[in-house]
Copies of this chain bind each other. A is one copy, B any other.
Amino acid sequence: MTFAALADPTRRAILARLAKGEATVLELAEPFSISLPAISRHLKVLEEAGLLIRGRDAQRRPCRLRVEGLAPVSHWVEHTREAWDARLDRLESFLQSQQATKGADSDDDRTP
């Protein structure tokens, strides 16, 4: 859900704006050439993904970034990278062990 919410560039731009401070729907809509209903739909997706909180002030309903909502993304990327690093480490160990075996085998062939 978080990744799907972040898949849209307008939604990422909205979050980047909110990272600098809360804003009303009108303020968020201003830099984009899209309608208010379209902005509201984006905000709903972000809210459902746990990336945005709407204020309780009935008039303004300011939007605020929910930065904890980004954690699943960081976790997934870190987890994938760690698995990849572990694989590279195993590969390196294997190549070193091969090299050691080869070195032991060809001790007499060494050139100075």
Residues of A within 8 A of B (CB): 3-4, 6-7, 12, 15-16, 19-21, 65, 67, 70, 73-74, 76-77, 79-81, 83-84, 87
Contact = CB atoms under 8 A, between A and B. Distances in A.
A70 B74 contact: no
A3 B16 CA distance: 15
Copies in the complex: 2
Chain A residues touching B, majority SS: helix
B20 A87 contact: yes
B12 A76 contact: yes
A73 B72 CA distance: 12
A48 to B, nearest CB: 14
Closest 9 A/B residue pairs (Cβ): A19-B83, A7-B7, A4-B7, A19-B84, A3-B7, A3-B6, A19-B80, A67-B84, A70-B77
